Amino acid sequence: MSHLIAPSILAADFANLQSESEMLEKSNADWFHIDVMDGVFVPNISFGMPIIKAIKKFSNKPFDVHLMIVEPQKYINDFKAVGADILTVHYEVCNHLHRTLQEIKAAGMKAGVALNPHTNVNVLENIIQDIDLVCIMSVNPGFGGQSFIESTYEKVSTLKEMIVKKNAKTLIEIDGGVTSENARKLIDCGADVLVAGSFVFKSDNPIETIENLKTV
């Protein structure tokens, strides 16, 4: 499978979400990456269900919803109702991760688990076959536009080995500070999905930037 690109709308112009969504829709982007922040798990608040519902009208591409919130298990059906196709929860806030993943799948979505930069990928060893997507945070979650943490490459390689060894189908997604400088190396280490916020939306020609990340 060739790698996927998931632009993060956190870096979009919020006053023009319709045109930003239409731009992504006609681009070569594979998914919309949607960052929900609660001001508790992370020191920032972004947006919630009404915004997701509003932009869903302008897209047929999968919505990859990254929950940076505490108690994500409370809102699984609400995110399904507004159009989430993949729902990712943070390992660090789930005491009953296996149950939460089963509930996400029972609601009809793919289930993802995100890991903060300090969280070892080995914590997923006994559950990897139940996870559709692991989102490796390559910055501390909470803000777009931060610098990529270099130790991410090693985490990706270790996780890839685990997935192959366990014969799992799990995709590896990288989130934070992705650019055309680090994209190729991340893919070579085993990444399947690259999230890019600022690098896409702050560029002069986002459609061309997405295309460049696709063909890197």
> Catalytic residue positions?
35, 175
SS3 sequence of 7-61: EEHHHCCHHHHHHHHHHHHHCCCCCEEEEEEECCCCCCECCCHHHHHHHHCCCCC
Q: Which is nearer to ligand DX5, 20 or 175 (CB)?
A: 175
Q: Site mask, ligand DX5, residues 197-216, x = CB under 6 A?
A: xxx-----------------
- The answer to whether residues 11 and 198 touch, using CB atoms and an 8 Å cutoff, is yes
Query: Counting contacts by CB under 5 A, is residue 175 touching Zn ion?
Result: yes
| Minimum separation from the CB atom of position 195 to Zn ion (A) | 6
Could you tell me the two tokens for 106? 């029972």
| DSSP state for residue 177 in the 8-state scheme | S
27 binds ligand DX5 (CB under 6 A): no
Residues 57-76 that bind ligand DX5 (CB under 6 A): 66
Nearer to Zn ion, 11 or 76 (CB): 11
Number of chain positions touching ligand DX5 (CB under 6 A): 22
| Sequence-separated (6 or more) residues with CB below 8 Å from residue 216 | 180, 183, 184, 187
Binding site for ligand DX5 (CB under 6 A): 8, 10-11, 33, 35, 66, 139, 141-146, 175-178, 195-199
